Amino acid sequence: MSKPAPKPKTSRVRDLLTKPIRLPQWFASKPAAHAPRIFGFNDERDMVIGEVSARVVAQNLSRGRASLEVLLNETAHHEIARLEKQRDDEVREWLGFWQKVVRKLARMSEAEQRQTLREVVEYMAQDIAGNFDPRVYNFALKTLPGLIAGVMSPRELARGAVMNSGRFALDKLIEISGHVDHFRNLAEVGTMVLVPTHSSNLDSLALGESLARSGLSPAVYGAGKNLFTNPIISFFMHNLGAYRVDRRVKARLYKQVLKAYSCVMIERGYHSLFFPGGTRSRSNMIESRLKLGLAGTGVEAYSRRAVRAKARGEQPRPIFFVPMTINYALVLEAESLIGDYLVEEGRARYIIEDDEFSQLDRWIAFLNRLVGYESACVLRFGRPIDPFGNLVDHRGRSLAPDGRIIDPVRYVSRRGEPVLDPARDAAYTRELGRVIVEHFRRETVIMTTQLVAHVLFRYLIEQTPGSDLFDRMRRRGELRWDHADFVRRYSETRDRLRALADAGEVHMSDHLRTDSAERALERAMGAWDGYHERTVVRLEGEEISLEDPALLLYYQNRLVPWAEGLAGSGEGERAAALEIASFGGAQ
Amino acid sequence: MSEAQEARPLVGIVGGGVFGRALVRAASRTGEVVVWSRRAPSFDLPNVRVSTDVAQLVDAELVLLAVPSRYVSLALDTLGHHLDGGHLLVHVSRGLLDDELRTLSAPMRSLTPCRRVGALAGPVSADLLDAGTPGAGVVGSEFPEVVEAVRAAIGGPTLRIYASSDLRGVELAAALTGILLFTIGVAKRVGFGPGTIGALATRGVAEVSRIGEALGAKPETFHGLACFGDLIAAVGGSQRPEMILGDAIAGGASSEDALAQAGGSVEGIEVAHRVAAFCERRGINAPLITAVSALVSGRLDTATAVRKLMGRQLKRE
């Protein structure tokens, strides 16, 4: 008999620091019957891991031995390449293991190869799987608003009224709008997949807070493994439903496990959250091309539910996608993001290690600036859709464009029978991505800072015909604009935006609807000054000086899809608007 | 009837024009067909059912849409009340819808609940379908089962149906090739030789693939059957209306007379003005299409158009 497959070394220290730390279960009570599904997740965790592992192993074993050998070899080489760059405990634990796999692979029996695959897949699934502890959730709900409010206004902290004032301050700071009731109804009859726009690392906090405030169940979500390195953040992440996504791991097998985990969670009815753009929008443009990635597993999960339900003679429990927009008047990481966009010319780096999110002083400056800006963040729930992009009614039934009720199972059926078909589901996922982009646009809430920046940036383009974007970025403080002319152009542009909003093509924040042009400029400057390190716009007598074209570009980029419709009939303004519209590329 | 024929689900065809009728005859060779057409053409074929009732299409799995693009919205609006996610919907149009050059798959998705959609294009003429002579076409669709269904319906020993996942590219290629065919008609009438026509066709394909790329299509799609294949078929002698129109304009006919000679409505040319305006708006270099737009509307004569095109600054290929 041949020797057993190589085993990885384990590290207790690393386990303690990075693996799920759970509170003792002695005082934990059983979740109530009406409690959200996720409250009982920890009881199911091992089953989920088992199901994920079994599915991925079966999927790979069905492709034959040659394919299995290629997969293990490829995984080993990817992992060795990654671990050789890393300098942490994981190297000691796994590098030797993978080196042995490469050395022994050709001599391994089929049984040994299968066993190696099982071990690796199970480890990956264990590493990815999250936790949810209702006690940690309740604790976080009570304290986080207070802590944020305390940072914003330390005097409140001194008065010892953190809990209430925190809640009050956050209520004022984050406005929730859109189809919240529809969401709440559907969460009772199906599984919700939230797909929001992504501008800032604050998005997760804003979302978590908004779901809780609206009385909605928390959702599971994937978080970058880099966020788990701090033991305190790691503790909260581990216990609030987050699962770990290690973006450094390039092995195909890891992606299979990740997708299987996400799919199994949705299939089992856990509401899930994905940022379908993958990473924060560097340019601040609304995401226009979505790969969906893990969110696409919602389509596969529905197909699997349909196949199982058919065998039982039932209708599958529905899955709903909810496009959401998170709209900020001021973005914490704006300077880093637009800098990255310009430097990388749009090639996204997934992790910016040293942006404003990691700097406490920038947080304080940012939050302080927002205190006087009510509804600085508007979180808007879009209309829920089924996995095939159809709108659904309040009972969760899919609707054809003419309002007729249709059966979503037909989308995954061939000759009347629901079937699994990964190629088909991948195509549905791409189609769903296009539909979500359309919803993103319609559900976008334009903020004052964005429209002010748009009018100013359009003027900059108008005054610098023939220049390229990078040339314009260098024109700091070179251009001045008569304040009265700005007021006229801004008012005209806002009227056009209002017409678009009235036609249902976009939304406007309350301030934007009601503020005069003069007040809007004051409001935008008030938000930018004192937070952004560089002055964005300066008012000098009767003239406006455009000081930072990069930040103007960043804030105005939210309006790219409507640039043509917002321009007047003047030749220069129209040409500038067309140039802005072209930033969005082919639609 | 063979086992394969029995296995093929009902095919629905919308439209009773020349191409629609050819599709009906081709599909009737492989199984049952139901035709929805306001003209209610008659077919002396036992397995073809003709109806003016759109509800008859509900039992079909694949529905082929063979109506001119200006009637497509109307047809889709009606179909939208009956079809659902189980239907596979494929169009054969060479038109574009609006100033943003939207293709027909957009209203197919927005006016009906169908998602598994596709487009059939390439040098597949009504004559070829009727006669069953060897040929090939391409189906653009992201869904493999759509291509399989078209193959099962009209493919066979003499017609090879290739697959492309670039639906938008296939649609744009089919539409924009019509404009290039016009230039071939002009060139032939003027008496230009094969060298000129070769240069015109090659640079024309480069131009339309540039436009396609700006609209999100893959440039390589234009080098396949949907564009290059269609163009070579035209050069080889197929008498497409766009070529007749080009021939008539170059012969000095007025726009109206030329259009009448070409059959009254030429989809490929109707889009020329929109494409030219789009390229100007987006800053896309499209000298050939700009010249076609000017020629068709009578703003330019053939000799001046040739002089202008040849007088442009030289560049890398």
What was the pLDDT predicted at A128? 92
Q: Tell me what percent of the residues of chain A surpass a pLDDT of 70.
A: 83
> Using a CB-CB distance cutoff of 8 angstroms, which residues of chain A are in contact with residue B213?
586
Task: Decide if B27 contacts B153 (C-beta within 8 A).
Answer: yes
Task: Decide if B138 contacts B121 (C-beta within 8 A).
Answer: yes
Residue A353 has pLDDT above 50, yes or no: no
Q: Taking CA atoms, what residue in A is nearest to B280? A: A578
A278: left (phi over 0), alpha (psi -120 to 50) or beta: left
Same domain, A303 and A323: yes
**A402, A410, A421 ranked by CB distance to B86: nearest:** A410
Same domain, A123 and A242: no
Average pLDDT, chain B: 91
Which of B115, B209, B213, B279 should we substitute to test contact with A (largest number of A Cβ atoms within 10 Å)? B115
> Using a CB-CB distance cutoff of 8 angstroms, which residues of chain B are in contact with residue A404?
81
Task: Please count the CA atoms within 13 angstroms of the CA of A8 that sit on its side-chain side.
Answer: 21
Q: Taking CA atoms, what residue in A is nearest to B166? A: A427
Averaged pLDDT for residues B273-282 = 91
What was the pLDDT predicted at B2? 46
B29: CB partners within 8 A, 6+ apart: B132, B156
Q: Taking CA atoms, what residue in A is nearest to B215? A: A586
Averaged pLDDT for residues A286-298 = 87
Residue with tokens 């960043």: A554
Residue A403 has pLDDT above 90, yes or no: yes
> β-pairing, A445-446 with A417-418?
unpaired
Task: Decide if B94 contacts B178 (C-beta within 8 A).
Answer: yes
In a domain, A72, yes or no: yes
Query: Any binding-site annotation on B24?
Result: no
Q: What tokens were used for B89?
A: 């919907």
Same domain, A508 and A471: yes
**B86, B216, B283 ranked by CB distance to A586: nearest:** B216
Q: Supply angle C-alpha A118, A309, A302, rounded to 5.
A: 65
What was the pLDDT predicted at A13? 52
> Using a CB-CB distance cutoff of 8 angstroms, which residues of chain B are in contact with residue A582?
282-283
Mark yes or no for CB contact B113/A427 under 8 Å. no
B282 in contact with A, Cβ within 8 Å: yes
Choose which CATH entry (3.40.50.300, 3.40.50.720, 3.30.2080.10, 1.25.40.10) describes domain B11-165: 3.40.50.720
> β-pairing, A405-406 with A398-399?
antiparallel
What is the band of A208 on the pLDDT scale with cuts at 50, 70, 90? confident
The DSSP H or E segment spanning B139 is strand B135-140
What is the band of A587 on the pLDDT scale with cuts at 50, 70, 90? very low
- Cα(A7)–Cα(A97) distance, integer angstroms: 6
Average pLDDT, chain A: 86
- Cα(A484)–Cα(B28) distance, integer angstroms: 72
In a domain, A264, yes or no: yes
Same domain, A245 and A312: yes
Mark yes or no for CB contact B145/A406 under 8 Å. no
Lowest mean pLDDT among A17-26, A545-554, B33-42: A17-26
Domain stop point among A443, A466, A487: A443
Lowest mean pLDDT among A55-69, A221-235, A482-496, B70-84: A221-235
- Cα(A10)–Cα(A8) distance, integer angstroms: 6
Our count of domains for chain A comes to 4
Handedness of CA B109, B13, B70, A581 (dihedral sign): positive
Which residues form the domain of A112? 36-131
A132: CB partners within 8 A, 6+ apart: A38, A39, A41, A42, A218, A220, A239, A240, A241
In a domain, A22, yes or no: no
Mark yes or no for CB contact A424/B143 under 8 Å. yes
Give how far A380 is from chain B: nearest CA, Å.
24
pLDDT one-digit tens code per residue, A510-529: 999 999 999 999 999 998 98
Q: Which residues on adjacent β-strands are paired with residue A379?
A: A176, A326
Q: What tokens were used for B248?
A: 């008539």
Averaged pLDDT for residues A54-71 = 94
> Using a CB-CB distance cutoff of 8 angstroms, which residues of chain B are in contact with residue A428?
115
What was the pLDDT predicted at A159? 47
- Cα(B307)–Cα(A557) distance, integer angstroms: 43
Query: Any binding-site annotation on B135?
Result: no
Positions of E strands within B148-206 = 159-164
Q: Tell me what percent of the residues of chain A surpass a pLDDT of 90.
A: 57
> Using a CB-CB distance cutoff of 8 angstroms, which residues of chain A are in contact with residue B84?
400, 406-407, 410
Q: Taking CA atoms, what residue in B is nearest to A586? A: B215
| Residue at A280: amino acid letter | R
Task: Decide if A497 contacts A504 (C-beta within 8 A).
Answer: no
Q: How far is CA A586 from the centre of its chain?
A: 23
Which residues of A touch chain B, with CB atoms under 8 Å apart? 388-390, 398, 400-402, 404, 406-408, 410-411, 413-416, 421, 423-424, 427-428, 430-431, 578, 582, 586-587
What value of ipTM does the predicted structure carry?
A: 0.90
Same domain, A455 and A427: no
Mark yes or no for CB contact A400/B112 under 8 Å. yes
Residue B130 has pLDDT above 80, yes or no: yes
B149 in contact with A, Cβ within 8 Å: no
Mark yes or no for CB contact B216/A400 under 8 Å. no
Mark yes or no for CB contact B110/A389 under 8 Å. no
Domain stop point among A145, A160, A176: A176
Mark yes or no for CB contact A407/B214 under 8 Å. no
- Show me where the domains of chain B are located: 11-165, 168-311
Top mean-pLDDT range of A45-54, A87-96, A123-132, A159-168: A45-54
A and B: number of Cβ contacts within 8 A:
63
Same domain, A434 and A456: no
Query: Any binding-site annotation on B185?
Result: no
What is the band of A255 on the pLDDT scale with cuts at 50, 70, 90? very high
What was the pLDDT predicted at B6? 52
Which B-chain residues 178-217 have CB contacts (< 8 A) with chain A? 213-216
Averaged pLDDT for residues B19-47 = 92
pLDDT one-digit tens code per residue, A378-399: 999 999 999 999 999 999 999 9
Task: Please count the CA atoms within 13 angstroms of the CA of A301 that sit on its side-chain side.
Answer: 31
Q: What tokens were used for B40?
A: 């209610």
Same domain, A289 and A422: yes
Query: Any binding-site annotation on B17?
Result: yes
- Cα(A441)–Cα(A324) distance, integer angstroms: 10
What was the pLDDT predicted at A4? 54
Q: What tokens were used for A522?
A: 């004051």
Exposed/middle/buried for A103, CB within 10 Å: 0-12, 13-18, 19+?
A: exposed
> Using a CB-CB distance cutoff of 8 angstroms, which residues of chain A are in contact with residue B144?
423-424
Q: What tokens were used for B290?
A: 């700009």
Q: What tokens were used for A252?
A: 């195909």
**A413, A421, A428 ranked by CB distance to B86: nearest:** A413
In a domain, A567, yes or no: yes
Same domain, A349 and A232: yes
Which of B143, B215, B279 should we substitute to test contact with A (largest number of A Cβ atoms within 10 Å)? B143
Residue B156 has pLDDT above 80, yes or no: yes
In a domain, A31, yes or no: no
What was the pLDDT predicted at B3? 45
Query: Any binding-site annotation on B72?
Result: no
| Alpha-carbon distance values, B259 to B175, B204, B242 (Å) | 18, 22, 9
In a domain, A10, yes or no: no
What was the pLDDT predicted at A543? 96
Same domain, A405 and A269: yes
What is the band of A8 on the pLDDT scale with cuts at 50, 70, 90? low
Task: Decide if B226 contacts B174 (C-beta within 8 A).
Answer: yes
Same domain, A253 and A397: yes
What was the pLDDT predicted at A365? 65
What was the pLDDT predicted at B30? 93
Residue A425 has pLDDT above 90, yes or no: yes
pLDDT one-digit tens code per residue, B169-209: 999 999 999 999 999 999 999 999 999 999 999 999 999 99
Handedness of CA B300, B306, B307, B308 (dihedral sign): positive
- More confidently predicted of A155 and A489: A489
What was the pLDDT predicted at A351? 45
Mark yes or no for CB contact A430/B110 under 8 Å. no
Give how far B56 is from chain A: nearest CA, Å.
17
Same domain, A553 and A419: no
Residue A15 has pLDDT above 60, yes or no: no
Task: Decide if B170 contacts B221 (C-beta within 8 A).
Answer: yes
Q: Taking CA atoms, what residue in A is nearest to B110? A: A401
Same domain, A238 and A322: yes
pLDDT one-digit tens code per residue, A303-320: 999 999 999 999 999 999
Give how far A399 is from chain B: nearest CA, Å.
8
Alpha helices in A62-153 (DSSP H): 65-85, 89-104, 110-128, 134-152
What was the pLDDT predicted at A12? 54
**A401, A415, A430 ranked by CB distance to B112: nearest:** A401
**No. of helices (H) and no. of strands (E), chain A:** 24, 16
**A390, A407, A427 ranked by CB distance to B143: nearest:** A427
Direct distance between the N- and C-terminal alpha carbons of chain B, in angstroms, rounded to an integer: 54
> β-pairing, A413-414 with A417-418?
antiparallel
- More confidently predicted of A541 and A231: A541
Q: Which CATH homologous superfamily contains domain B168-311?
A: N-(1-d-carboxylethyl)-l-norvaline Dehydrogenase; domain 2 (1.10.1040.10)
- More confidently predicted of A87 and B54: B54
What is the band of A160 on the pLDDT scale with cuts at 50, 70, 90? very low
